[in-house]
């Protein structure tokens, strides 16, 4: 069955109930989920932690969205596209859906970016200096750490399954979750139909941004993503 595409930023993504399974080249039944980060925004270029700020794509981000959409129309051919309703994610998802001739585009507030609490709206460098406790919680490998300024109820609802969390959840030999996740990068997961096991097949793929000499520069090469 064609893959399901999820479009949002790096730090918040909810899992979508998988469709029916299909046979893989390895003889196993699996569902393929393609996860795409949204295109670049002005906040990305300024290194601002966006959280749930509703920032739209900048011109570079729109070009990135077109390029990843063009690639997915050739390679993935998704059966459905799911996205946050925040502008940066929704526009990226709409571009993908249009290019792939997908009429089933679902915008769901539950897929919004993780709430950043006290870090919300701060530049990365300022956040490290002015909110060290919140920054430590955000950057910690302890996934149970609460970011100050975010209530427990929000933690339960909003940090369940970001792209980072999906990478942690998947069976993969490297610690991909703490590596850079560029704008419009592609991650591919296979979900076993027999035991529900997640496997990370591809991480942070931005080959489409190398087409036509396009310069991809989300976060200026920094490893953080928010």
42 labeled part of a ligand binding site = yes
152 labeled part of a ligand binding site = no
176 labeled part of a ligand binding site = no
Instruction: Using the CB atoms, write b or e for 93-106: b if 16+ within 10 Å.
Output: bbbbbebbebeebe
Question: What's the token pair of residue 56?
Answer: 């739209």
3-state DSSP of the chain: CCCEEEEECCCCCCCCCCCCCEECCCCCEEEEEEEEECCCEHHHHCCECCCCCCCCECHHHHHHHHHHHHHHHHHCCCCEEEECCCHHHHHHHHHHHHHCCCCCEEECHHHCCCCCHHHCCCEHHHHHHHCHHHHHHHHCCCCCCCCCCCCHHHHHHHCCCCHHHHHHHCECCCCHHHCCCCCCCEEEEEEECCCCCEEEEEEEECHHHHHHHCCCCHHHHCCCCC
Active-site residue identified among 12, 38, 120, 190: 38
Q: With contact defined as beta carbons under 8 Å apart, do 202 and 187 qualify?
A: yes
22 labeled part of a ligand binding site = no
Residue 146 annotated in active site:
no
38 labeled part of a ligand binding site = yes
Active-site residue identified among 32, 113, 164, 165: 113
101 labeled part of a ligand binding site = no
Residue 120 annotated in active site:
no
40 labeled part of a ligand binding site = yes
44 labeled part of a ligand binding site = yes
The catalytic site residues sit at 38, 113
Q: Which residues are annotated as a binding site for substrate?
A: 37-44, 88
Which residues sit in the known binding site? 37-44, 88
């Amino acid at each position: 069955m064609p893959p399901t595409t999820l479009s949002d930023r790096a730090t918040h993504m909810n899992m979508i109930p998988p469709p029916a399974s299909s046979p893989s080249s390895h003889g196993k039944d699996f569902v393929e989920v393609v996860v795409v980060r949204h295109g670049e925004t002005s906040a990305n270029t300024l290194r601002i932690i966006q959280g749930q700020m509703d920032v739209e794509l900048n011109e570079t981000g729109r070009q990135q969205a077109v390029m990843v959409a063009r690639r997915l129309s050739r390679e993935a051919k998704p059966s459905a596209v799911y996205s946050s309703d925040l502008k940066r994610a929704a526009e990226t998802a709409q571009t993908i859906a249009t290019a792939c001739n997908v009429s089933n585009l679902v915008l769901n507030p539950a897929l919004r970016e993780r709430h950043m609490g006290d870090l919300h709206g701060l530049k990365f460098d300022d956040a490290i200096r002015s909110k060290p406790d919140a920054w430590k919680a955000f950057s910690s490998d302890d996934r149970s750490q609460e970011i100050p300024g975010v209530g427990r109820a929000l933690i339960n609802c909003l940090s369940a399954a970001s792209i980072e969390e999906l990478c942690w959840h998947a069976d993969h030999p490297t610690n991909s979750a703490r590596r850079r996740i560029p704008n419009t990068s592609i991650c591919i997961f296979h979900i076993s139909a027999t035991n529900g096991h997640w496997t990370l097949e591809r991480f942070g793929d931005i080959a489409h941004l190398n087409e036509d000499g396009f310069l991809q520069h989300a976060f200026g090469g920094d490893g953080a993503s928010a």
